[in-house]
Amino acid sequence: MSGEALQTLDQQYIANTYARFDVVFVRGKGCFLFDDKGKRYIDMGSGIAVSGLGYGDKAWAKAVCDQAKTLSHACNLYYTQPQTQLARVLCERTGMKKVFFANSGAEANECLIKAARKYAANRHGEDKKPVILTLTGSFHGRTLATLAATGQESFHHDFGPFPEGFVHIPPNDIPALEAALWREDVCALLLETIQGEGGVAPLTAEYLQAARSLTEERDILLLLDEVQTGNGRTGMLYSYQHFEILPDAFSTAKGLAGGLPMGACLLGEKLEDTLTPGSHGSTFGGNPVCAAGALAVLERLTRELLLEVRAKGEYIRRELETAPGVLGVTGQGLMLGIEIHKDAREVVKMLLTRGVVALTAKNRLRLLPPLTIPWKELKQAVNQIKEVVAP
């Protein structure tokens, strides 16, 4: 079927929730994507921070295919090898104690929310401390609870009523945080260390450290949403590891299984026994094929690779910070926001014609290349970006 015919069919049968670009991707190899006409693109988006190892990684593909042939699904009434092994690796590399597996970022955040509320209910009585503080500009997902947690009005229109118990406070404002933490009804604070959908807007180290110490003092849980920042994206396995803080729990998804749908909610010491049989669940969560993929991803996320992620991020920053048409660069590692004079969506379209796939976040250009992108292609993509954003 031609690309044009496919687009017509897509518009006829797919719910119109995505403003798609005019490209049909059919294949990927390494850091390259190929469209239906055989044109090659350098991927600077990783399918929104998902394909951290690029496309067709041999070890990942073998692990996934072998597992698909061996046992593709068993459901969570039984033990399966890859799920248990994955939980162990995740806990050993993060300081968390237990894992609940889901299938997406929003679902992983639902688990964070439920675990925090149940912890508070067990200690203080049901509904005594249901409130979760989140930040304006945040994004936590598209389910009703995670939308309610999301601190951006634009996502809320037409979907009310929302679950109660979320209060939004301004980011990087320590006095506002201190004031909110005095509320009697608060059980947790939920943060992204870098607001991805919010424009690649980072929290300061000072704010994150204050958030940790203030919540600790008041027996309020610190929850992190590492859906976009996790799995090596910022140059640490999880981004909180840059700041010498340990959250009480965190969520992750996107890059975790290298392109297969998987989310995880990692629970620390305080929360490890909170979820009990029947209190939460997921049919597909921790599915053996996704878990095998995630094990292959984690095996590749070595110290050496993470150092390279940081070096590549610093290179992009150096090159673009002083480039004509660029107002500033935000973010960390290979999660970068480029503030530009031009309209970001128009810039993304121009880059597509030049064979570079990039993303937007608010009116910033957003770069989330595969963590394994070779230097040569990275430099080519950066040069293209420089030319396109120039006045």
Ligand X SMILES: Cc1ncc(COP(=O)(O)O)c(C=O)c1O
Tell which residue, 80, 7, 90, has the closest CA to residue 301.
90
Toward ligand X, which CB reaches closer, 289 or 359? 359
Smallest gap from residue 50 Cβ to ligand X (A): 9
d(CA 20, CA 345): 11
3-state SS, residue 210: helix
Q: Write out the two tokens for 194.
A: 């870098």
What is the 3-state composition of the chain as percent helix, strand, coil, each rounded to the nearest 5?
40, 20, 40
Tokens of 130: 């249901």
* Residue 239 near residue 217, CB atoms below 8 Å: no
* Shortest CB 238 distance to ligand X, Å: 13
CB of 158 to ligand X, least distance (A): 19
In a 13 Å sphere around the CA of 96, the CA atoms on its Cβ side amount to: 29
Residues that bind ligand X (CB under 6 A): 104-106, 109, 139-141, 192, 196-197, 225, 227-228, 253
- Residues β-bridged to residue 195: 201
Please identify, using beta-carbon distances, which residue of 32 and 101 lies nearer to ligand X: 101
Would you give the DSSP letter of residue 55?
Answer: B
CB of 204 to ligand X, least distance (A): 18
CB of 67 or CB of 252, closer to ligand X: 252
Give 112 or 389: the residue with its C-beta nearer to ligand X: 112
**Closer to ligand X at the Cβ: 203 or 382?**
203
- Shortest separation between residue 187's beta carbon and ligand X, angstroms: 19
At its nearest, how many Å lie between ligand X and the CB of residue 105? 2
CB-nearest residue to ligand X: 105
Q: Nearest-CA neighbor of 367 among 390, 342, 347?
A: 347
- The helix (H) or strand (E) run that includes residue 98 is strand 98-102
Identify which of residues 148 and 389 has a Cβ nearer to ligand X in the complex: 148
- Report, in Å, the least distance between residue 306 CB and ligand X: 20
DSSP assignment string, 16-38: S-----S--EEEEEBTEEEETT-
The DSSP output letter for 45 is S
Q: Which is nearer to ligand X, 227 or 326 (CB)?
A: 227
